[in-house]
């Protein structure tokens, strides 16, 4: 038994153990189950409403509009990001209804989003994520053996269409990023951490779940695993979701915009591997962009005219995975130095901090 004043700080993945009622044997399962049921319901509503709107819109091909995976399509982009954004209310339901605890305990060890953490470290995180997107695009460009085809060779999609895609990404990507981190990192990490003191198994669980509903090809799986592990490690090390949210937001927005602006080229293919890796599982964005559809020549894509872009996508995926892991190591070192911690010691909630009150409603 620890004596008063000798208790160690509580790491982020163990915050659900602050109160006995939050860490009852079945509570973690109820938290995860509530979040996923809420997501299925909300995503179904979004999908049904989209199909109804398209059915009423004259001259719209519903099948192509919903499932083409075209990175230059405003409809595809808004649908994928809207479905991803549904993880935000789903995560809230999981923590409040399933876990029956304050939402703040899922944000950080301080039971809130820590703006003071974002000033020094958030800039490093955002800059590193932008560099990661650039590395994926450049690697794809260098590895591509295909000439720009179709619409890409003719100057790309209409400018107004591309501007609309950019606006959609800038508006909806933050909601998706916050939702994905709250649910896929916060809820899962803390659910498994309720049972286990070591963070290793929670890291593995987060990485495995991140592959559900995603295209299982090396170009997507490799960066998806790297991003999931990076976000989980940063959440544990920093004591919250602030840095993982910035990582997910920046890589999502940057890779989607590059995929749209450079569709049909090696740079676009390289960025599309990263965007598929960081996208919400189960959405059209969680697969490599359909370069044939983006170029407006599906028959050429099926005939293999875009085979060179597959090499570009793999190069972009692998190089971005390496970049993300190196960025994570850098941030772990910066956090350790800033907080005066050992390399493998996380920022925790001090044992003498008051425990957040129970949720009554």
Distance CA 3, CA 200 (A): 28
Rounded mean pLDDT of 194-206?
Answer: 93
What is the predicted pLDDT for the residue at 313?
93
**DSSP per position, 220-232:** HHHHHHHHHHHHH
Band of residue 238 on the pLDDT scale cut at 50, 70, 90: very high
pLDDT of 300 strictly over 80: no
H/E segment holding residue 281: none
Quick one: DSSP state of residue 10? E
Q: What is the mean pLDDT of the chain?
A: 87
What is the predicted pLDDT for the residue at 294?
46
**Beta-bridge partner residues of 348:** 11
Q: How many residues belong to the chain? A: 361
For residue 338, give every residue at least 6 positions away whose Cβ sits within 8 Å of its Cβ, in sequence order, or none. 120, 121
CA angle 225, 226, 227 (to 5 degrees): 95
pLDDT digits (tens, 9 = 90+) for 26-43: 999 999 999 999 999 999
Band of residue 92 on the pLDDT scale cut at 50, 70, 90: very high
> Which of 155-159, 206-210, 219-223, 256-260 is predicted least confidently?
155-159
| b/e map 171-208, b = 16+ CB within 10 Å | ebbbbbbbbbbbbbbbbbbbbbbbeeeebeebbebbbe
What is the predicted pLDDT for the residue at 188?
95
Cβ(131)–Cβ(320) below 8 Å: no
pLDDT digits (tens, 9 = 90+) for 95-118: 999 999 999 999 999 999 998 888
Quick one: DSSP state of residue 135? H
Band of residue 291 on the pLDDT scale cut at 50, 70, 90: low
Distance CA 20, CA 67 (A): 46
What are the C-alpha distances in Å from 359 to residues 96, 113, 183? 8, 19, 19
Distance CA 290, CA 73 (A): 11
What is the predicted pLDDT for the residue at 68?
59
Neighbour tally for 279: CB within 10 Å: 30
What is the sign of the dihedral through the CA atoms of 151, 154, 155 and 161?
negative
CA-closest candidate to residue 86, choices 341, 293, 281: 281
What is the predicted pLDDT for the residue at 142?
92
pLDDT of 330 strictly over 90: yes
**DSSP per position, 35-79:** HHHHHHHHHHHHHHHHHHHHHHSTT--HHHHHHS--TT-HHHHHH
Largest Cα–Cα separation, the chain = 73
What is the predicted pLDDT for the residue at 152?
53
Q: Is 217 helix (H, G, I), strand (E, B) or coil?
A: coil
Rounded mean pLDDT of 308-334?
Answer: 94
For residue 63, give every residue at least 6 positions away whose Cβ sits within 8 Å of its Cβ, in sequence order, or none. none
For residue 61, give every residue at least 6 positions away whose Cβ sits within 8 Å of its Cβ, in sequence order, or none. none
Distance CA 337, CA 121 (A): 12
What is the predicted pLDDT for the residue at 1?
43
């Amino acid at each position: 038994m620890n004596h008063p004043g000798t208790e160690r700080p509580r790491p982020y993945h163990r915050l659900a153990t602050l109160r006995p009622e939050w860490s009852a044997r079945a509570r973690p399962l109820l938290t995860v189950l509530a979040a996923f049921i809420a997501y299925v319901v909300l995503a179904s509503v979004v999908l049904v409403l989209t199909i109804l709107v398209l059915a009423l819109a004259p001259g719209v091909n519903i099948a192509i509009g919903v499932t083409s995976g075209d990175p230059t399509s405003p409809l595809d982009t808004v649908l994928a990001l809207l479905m991803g954004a549904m993880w935000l209310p789903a995560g809230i339901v999981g923590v409040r209804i399933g876990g029956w605890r304050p939402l703040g305990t899922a944000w950080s060890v301080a039971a809130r989003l820590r703006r003071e953490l974002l000033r020094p470290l958030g800039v490093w995180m955002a800059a590193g994520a932008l560099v990661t997107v650039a590395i994926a695009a450049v690697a794809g460009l260098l590895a591509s053996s295909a000439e720009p085809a179709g619409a890409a060779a003719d100057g790309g999609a209409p400018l107004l269409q591309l501007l609309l895609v950019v606006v959609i990404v800038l508006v909806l990507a933050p909601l998706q990023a916050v939702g994905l981190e709250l649910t896929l990192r916060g809820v899962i990490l803390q659910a498994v951490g309720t049972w286990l003191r070591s963070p290793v198994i929670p890291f593995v669980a987060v990485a495995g779940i991140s592959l559900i509903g995603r295209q299982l090809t090396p170009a997507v799986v490799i960066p998806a695993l790297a991003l999931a592990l990076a976000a989980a490690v940063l959440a544990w090390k920093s004591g919250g979701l602030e840095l993982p949210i910035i990582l997910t937001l920046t890589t999502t927005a940057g890779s989607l915009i590059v995929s749209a602006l450079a569709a049909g080229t090696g740079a676009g293919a390289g960025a599309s591997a990263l965007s598929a890796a960081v996208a919400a599982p189960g959405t059209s964005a969680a697969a490599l962009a359909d370069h044939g559809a983006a170029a407006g020549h599906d028959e050429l894509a099926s005939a293999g005219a875009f085979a060179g872009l597959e090499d570009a996508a793999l190069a972009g995926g692998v190089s971005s995975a390496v970049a993300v892991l190196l960025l994570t190591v850098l941030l772990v070192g910066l956090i350790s130095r800033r907080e005066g911690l050992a390399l493998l010691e996380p920022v925790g909630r001090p044992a003498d901090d008051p425990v957040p009150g129970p949720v009554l409603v």
